[in-house]
Structure 1
Amino acid sequence: MTDTLTPVLTDNWDAERSWTIESYEAQGGYEALKKALTMSPDEVITAVKDSGLRGRGGAGFPTGMKWGFIPQDNPKPKYLVVNADESEPGTCKDIPLMMASPHTLIEGVIISAHAIRANHAFIYVRGEVLHVIRRLQHAVAEAYLAGHLGKNIHGSGHDLELVVHAGAGAYICGEETALLDSLEGRRGQPRLRPPFPAVAGLYASPTVINNVESIASVPSIIAHGPEWFSSMGTERSKGFGIFSLSGHVTHPGQYEAPLGITLRELIELGGGMRDGNRLKFWTPGGSSTGILTEEHLDVPLDFESVAAAGSMLGTRALQVFDETTCVVRATLRWTEFYKHESCGKCTPCREGTWWLVQVLRKLEQGQGSESDLDQLLDQCDNILGRSFCALADGAVGPITSSIQYFRDEYVAHLTHGGCPFDPAASTLFAPAGARA
């Protein structure tokens, strides 16, 4: 079973003082940078395109294609921005990557900036993770002293200034255009598009915005070749990724494997379900993706297969919940988070998430009637696809999917005048048709 794991980004995490430049270079770090600097920017972009690397931040857009959108005839400076504002409930891959091996990200930043001809790059980090910010800043200082950053990097003629920027703790700044506004010193709110960041992004200049894991994957592609990367994964979802397994499993943690691995395999790698309990529901990509159930254990975890199952691969934040969990309560808690984190710019999100919480609270307390479930679904339908960014869409996903698979559990709350779930029995609720 362990042969299914492909430690690349996580390969050096167990090395002594893996976060230092000495440890990183001892294991071949920055060799890919030296190779990339002998290539033209277009050759680097072509290599990333040929690898099939898709964005690891949730949307899965082809990374090389995004780089190719930068108009090189635009006289304005080009910028590279790394989205390290990891705030999605259940998502926990970028922060350990930056803590354990910040130079993997920094090397990826330098290569990527070379590819898009950018002389300024920014790593926008979630403000609460001060320990990560300090580690990144120290690693950047090490890279400057080693000549990997600054003027005329290794005699290539390429200049790059890299800034680590701490955000102010807003979930909305994980949305790329809200991140740009925050980086410019304004309140983080999504921008209306077009224009898109590739044309008018940071300081109204051409900008590429990529997730931490996307950029950190670039050095291995350059070092081993695009064919090596594309040999892993599935036909349309190439390569490897970090799967964050959390919740009711024996050994939660980060498992790096090719895209297309199943949750059943990952749970086996994680020692099975906690206390031998049975899986009830799970999220494939954090709390903003529709929940799936035991019947989806063998769905390949790639972009296409998870979408066909009615959810999104997202950030591969696999939150696993066993039979002792009340799905209504879990859905309410997630929705309260989105209500709190809405920036308030657009009405469907600002008002919609507030009303979703009101109805869910009534249902969780056993108040109202079954018609409230239809009202809840109608509210979700009126919110979906009608906001500036994907926050509102993410808020409705868990609600609609939980009603789809666990409507009986919602009705039972109404019948019993509150949550009737008895963890000791652990067989009261299940997806329709899952048990006789």
Structure 2
Amino acid sequence: MMTLAAEIDHNGTSPEKLLAPVLSAFWDQPDSWTLDTYRRHEGYEGLRKALAMAPDDLIAYVKDSGLRGRGGAGFPTGMKWQFIPQGDGKPHYLVVNADESEPGTCKDIPLLFANPHSLIEGIVIACYAIRSSHAFIYLRGEVVPVLRRLHEAVREAYEAGYLGTNVLGSGLDLELTVHAGAGAYICGEETALLDSLEGRRGQPRLRPPFPAVAGLYACPTVVNNVESIASVPAILNKGKDWFKSMGSEKSPGFTLYSLSGHVTSPGQYEAPLGITLRQLLDMSGGIRAGHRLKFWTPGGSSTPMFTEEHLDVPLDYEGVGAAGSMLGTKALQCFDETTCVVRAVTRWTEFYAHESCGKCTPCREGTYWLVQLLRDIEAGQGEMADLDKLNDIADNINGKSFCALGDGAASPIFSSLKYFREEYEQHITGKGCPFDPARSTAWADDKNTDGKNAHRGVNA
């Protein structure tokens, strides 16, 4: 696993100096996941500093740091903690969303596999702040090696006194439960996750009430992403000013960028928010030899795609938003000119149709019909009118479904039609995919595959 932190040169030139990574600082060391290794790198020092503060002061400190949720929406973490009512006589819960399922997203799972104690320390700090005595980690059930390693880290934390009764003599009693989900993309939506955690079918809840008022077991609940919570210990240990010295004014700090697809050196690149894809590609060896970038996603398949013209867009919440997309989970999937846009969008849409929980009509019916139209177009059996139908159906899903899954399904449709409508038309007028090896010689030069399986879509 490659890790890298870059210092951004605000003059627009390539980054020249490397900063020490934070979350990924010792991923490559032997036994990086153990408590001993974590403590050798100032592990649990942030917790000691947090326990010396009053809970309300701790919340204000995290809020002042400017830490924003790393799960996709970018909502301020400290503000989310502040929403929990105090003195209500109810139990408070912290739920960590580790159900990483977005196509192209791969940051929380490597983090948990290599450095689980950063999350555990962040959980203890967060629970102290919101006055919670029970926390849950909802982990994607398919990642069994991560589950085993996380269980072992929790055992170590209990044994060392970081969990359990009277944590470090602070008076805080905290239980931590690791729960393995059954493998449903919809459970990445926070209220569907809560339903699943309670033993019910994972489906989004109607809001209000919001989880901060009536979440897990109808009690006040904070739901945070893995990376969000894991970033807290470093802020407490090194200071909020240190954290704010990185990134941009409205999007401060460091974060993990998942670079995948047709790049020379894919992997996790930990850099300050605001770095550009051009800078990341410079550090990773660029697009694979002999090819050029065609399109890419800034935050996973549910975010509107970008093209070469967006290489210098600052990868922070404001910069990406101003350019017409969303930073999301910072899953930078890069596709070169051998990739058929129609095929890639079809595969993504098939995923969303399969993972729709079926609770609301726009998403349940809309994603089904999007798949039918896209399959016809890809096979050369579509009509020009189908392009307007695609746009119309996506519009009937976007903003009208019960949760954000519908919006995510519509995003690739809108953006691909915006930037690559001509390619859709070529499928229709040419009665098939122009990237089909049987119809085109464009694939013969793919040295990486010797001409076999060159047509790589979403999983390239």
Which TM-score applies when normalising by structure 2? 0.91
Aligned to 1:360: 374
Give the Cα separation in 2 of the matches to 1:71 and 1:261.
37
Query: Mapping of 1:124-135 within 5 angstroms?
Result: 124-135=138-149
Give the Cα separation in 1 of the matches to 2:283 and 2:371.
36
Query: Mapping of 1:231-250 within 5 angstroms?
Result: 231-250=245-264
Matched, 1:64 2:78: yes
Give the Cα separation in 2 of the matches to 1:264 and 1:238.
20
Give the Cα separation in 2 of the matches to 1:147 and 1:396.
48
| Structure 1: runs of 5+ lacking an equivalent | 427-436
Of 79, 91, 101, the match for 1:87: 101
**Deviation, structure 1 residue 366:** 1.2
Give the Cα separation in 2 of the matches to 1:281 and 1:399.
14
Aligned to 1:100: 114
**Deviation, structure 1 residue 371:** 1.4
Of 160, 169, 176, the match for 1:146: 160
Of 383, 399, 402, the match for 2:397: 383
1:300–1:306: 8 Å Cα contact kept in structure 2?
yes
**Deviation, structure 1 residue 104:** 0.6
Please give the secondary structure, in 2, of the residue aligned with 1:134: helix
Aligned to 1:342: 356
Aligned to 2:270: 256
Query: Mapping of 1:17-416 within 5 angstroms?
Result: 17-416=31-430
**Deviation, structure 1 residue 54:** 0.4
**Deviation, structure 1 residue 276:** 3.1
Letter in structure 2 aligned against 1:124: Y
Please give the secondary structure, in 2, of the residue aligned with 1:274: coil
Letter in structure 2 aligned against 1:283: T
Cα-to-partner distance string for 1:97-138 (whole Å, 9 max, x where unaligned): 000000011000000110111000000000100111110000
Letter in structure 1 aligned against 2:443: A
Give the Cα separation in 2 of the matches to 1:246 and 1:342.
25
**Deviation, structure 1 residue 385:** 0.5
Cα-to-partner distance string for 1:5-62 (whole Å, 9 max, x where unaligned): 5510000112221101011111110111111111111111111111100000000000
Letter in structure 2 aligned against 1:223: N
**Deviation, structure 1 residue 90:** 0.3
Please give the secondary structure, in 2, of the residue aligned with 1:213: helix
Which TM-score applies when normalising by structure 1? 0.96
1:246–1:253: 8 Å Cα contact kept in structure 2?
yes
Give the Cα separation in 2 of the matches to 1:327 and 1:5.
36
Please give the secondary structure, in 2, of the residue aligned with 1:50: helix
Aligned to 2:443: 424
1:148–1:154: 8 Å Cα contact kept in structure 2?
yes
Give the Cα separation in 2 of the matches to 1:328 and 1:4.
38
Aligned to 2:11: none
1:106–1:140: 8 Å Cα contact kept in structure 2?
yes
1:47–1:225: 8 Å Cα contact kept in structure 2?
no
Please give the secondary structure, in 2, of the residue aligned with 1:3: coil
Give the Cα separation in 2 of the matches to 1:276 and 1:230.
40
Aligned to 1:430: none
Give the Cα separation in 1 of the matches to 2:270 and 2:68.
16
**Deviation, structure 1 residue 368:** 2.4
Letter in structure 2 aligned against 1:219: P
**Deviation, structure 1 residue 388:** 1.1
Letter in structure 1 aligned against 2:63: K
| Structure 2: runs of 5+ lacking an equivalent | 1-14, 446-460
1:85–1:125: 8 Å Cα contact kept in structure 2?
yes
Give the Cα separation in 2 of the matches to 1:2 and 1:336.
42
1:2–1:269: 8 Å Cα contact kept in structure 2?
no
Q: Percent identity?
A: 72
Give the Cα separation in 2 of the matches to 1:37 and 1:54.
22
Give the Cα separation in 1 of the matches to 2:16 and 2:100.
28
Give the Cα separation in 2 of the matches to 1:325 and 1:166.
35
**Deviation, structure 1 residue 2:** 5.5
1:5–1:255: 8 Å Cα contact kept in structure 2?
no
**Deviation, structure 1 residue 4:** 5.0
More displaced stretch, 270-279 vs 198-207: 270-279
Give the Cα separation in 2 of the matches to 1:284 and 1:368.
29
**Deviation, structure 1 residue 424:** 3.5
Give the Cα separation in 1 of the matches to 2:51 and 2:401.
42
